[in-house]
Structure 1
Amino acid sequence: MKKIMTLVCAALVAGAVVAAPGAAVAASGVPKGFLLYEKAAAKKDNDPETNWKVSDSLKARLALDPCDRGAPGKAGRVAARTVTFTGVPDFMKVEQVLLYGSKADAERAMTQVRAALSACASRTDSGSSYRYASAPVTGLGDDALKVSGQVYYGRKAGIGGDRSVVVRKGSAVLIYLWAGEYAKPAKHDWDNQLRDAGKMAGKICTIAVCA
């Protein structure tokens, strides 16, 4: 009997060790200072025309939300951090890291992003339309998209747009979005976002489940 109890205890301890990595991710969340923009956001800023905001809300709207309904990617989150910079007159950049309870949850979030891009590819208002277009990005995480949102007057691109990169790696989803006075989408519009997404993808597995 004593031998059986010893084996049972050993099995429980082994099970605890195996379960620990996933449990640690959920418990620790996103460490302070982990995001690329946090250092800049922490500096004192006396400029009334610029503003930084850092939020750990699990209910935060996805930075890329084509239908403007706050629906994509909310289910299954276990941790989140969103850093937003705004500057006058109309510049904004967002860094968002979302950790999900499983890779399947993160995959579902990406599926919902694609569905929203399809369902709300164009929104018309007062003679102009805001149109989204996306393309896959290879070699970045497990799944990645680059997305453009742009004002159009008929077929002519107007001023006002956003460019984002969305990446899933393991159980994490990363978004880097810049918005400003864009015109017709150009290749180099995503240079900064792709650079930042690559840096974050390189270290996200220290807090996400990637195996």
Structure 2
Amino acid sequence: MRRALMLVAGVAAVIGLTGGEAMGAAGTVARPGAVAGGVLPKGFLLYEAEAAGPSKPWETWHVSDRVGQRLDVNPCGDDPAPKGRAAARGITHTVENDYTTEQVIIYRDRSAARKAMSSLRADLERCATHKGTGHDGYSYKWKKTAIGDDALRVGGFFFESRVRYVVVRKGRALALYSGTGMVTSRLLPSHFRPLVKDARTMAGKLCRLRHVCD
């Protein structure tokens, strides 16, 4: 079964994104605003503080700094190529079968970040539709979105759920926000509004990191 199908199950999606690492794995750096030693500054992601706070019995938070973590939108189910990555952090919040994710990946240079976006587009083209019965079938739709240097909004259509994604490149970094929820094949902007808002906020924050937008 392809990785895309696992996104339908919230807990499985958590494991795929974070590698099962719990909160506390995030590293620290000596100087805020620097991407040093392959580690993002602690507390840099938008939902880190919430992830670190007390959890309700029906929810789980997972945070990972694993550089080789999969991008949450992964239509072909491929493992990532960590080559070219300098740092990464992913957060997944799961409530029963619903989930949201936040990922920030810093690449060694702009060229590597551009290649990552090109690779994502190629995967969407190559694996946009898997015609199967029941849980085996899924499809993706996507559109260019005006955020940062380059961005896409993507809808994932699965047997029992739909997932919205917004991916933005700013300088040599990629940020992704996703979550289960209503989305149609028209990819209406209203269905992506909270994710777009977060992506815009993060695109602005990324330039505060030394050498990310230089």
Q: TM-score if structure 2 supplies the norm length?
A: 0.77
In the aligned structure 2, how far is the partner of 1:121 from the partner of 1:26?
37
Quick one: structure 1 residues 183 and 35, their matched pair in 2 at CA, closer, same or farther if it must change by over 3 Å?
closer
What's the counterpart of residue 207 of structure 2?
205
Quick one: structure 1 residues 119 and 28, their matched pair in 2 at CA, closer, same or farther if it must change by over 3 Å?
closer
What's the counterpart of residue 7 of structure 2?
none
After superposition, give the CA deviation of every residue in 1:145-188 in whole Å (9 maximum; x if it has no partner): 0000113xxxxxx64111000000000000001124x3635522
1:60 paired residue among 58, 64, 69? 69
What's the counterpart of residue 38 of structure 1?
48
Give the Å deviation of 1:25: 2.9
In the aligned structure 1, how far is the partner of 2:121 from the partner of 2:183?
23
The answer on 1:190 being equivalent to 2:192 is yes
What's the counterpart of residue 142 of structure 2?
134
User: Which amino acid in 2 is paired with 1:78?
Assistant: A
Give the Å deviation of 1:44: 1.2
User: Which amino acid in 1 is paired with 2:165?
Assistant: S
Runs of 4+ in 1 over 4 A off after TM superposition: none
The more displaced of 200-209 and 112-121 is 200-209
What's the counterpart of residue 82 of structure 1?
90
Aligned residues: 177
Larger Rg: 1
Unaligned runs of 5+ in 1: 1-23, 152-157
Give the Å deviation of 1:64: 1.0
Residue 35 of structure 2 contacts residue 41 of structure 2 at CA under 8 Å; is this kept in 1?
no
Within-5 A mapping of 1:156-167: 159-167=160-168
Residue 164 of structure 2 contacts residue 183 of structure 2 at CA under 8 Å; is this kept in 1?
no
The structure in which a higher percent of residues are helix is 1
User: Which amino acid in 1 is paired with 2:50?
Assistant: A
Quick one: structure 1 residues 33 and 136, their matched pair in 2 at CA, closer, same or farther if it must change by over 3 Å?
same
Quick one: structure 1 residues 183 and 145, their matched pair in 2 at CA, closer, same or farther if it must change by over 3 Å?
closer
**What SS does structure 2 have at the residue aligned with 1:66?**
coil
**What SS does structure 1 have at the residue aligned with 2:131?**
strand
Give the Å deviation of 1:83: 0.5
What's the counterpart of residue 10 of structure 1?
none
Residue 98 of structure 2 contacts residue 180 of structure 2 at CA under 8 Å; is this kept in 1?
yes
In the aligned structure 2, how far is the partner of 1:132 from the partner of 1:70?
18
User: Which amino acid in 2 is paired with 1:83?
Assistant: I
The answer on 1:145 being equivalent to 2:152 is yes
What's the counterpart of residue 114 of structure 1?
121
What's the counterpart of residue 69 of structure 1?
78
User: Which amino acid in 2 is paired with 1:176?
Assistant: Y
The answer on 1:103 being equivalent to 2:130 is no
Residue 74 of structure 1 contacts residue 109 of structure 1 at CA under 8 Å; is this kept in 2?
no
% of aligned pairs identical?
Answer: 39
After superposition, give the CA deviation of every residue in 1:51-94 in whole Å (9 maximum; x if it has no partner): 000100001111111111223x6321111100000111x11110
The structure in which a higher percent of residues are strand is 1
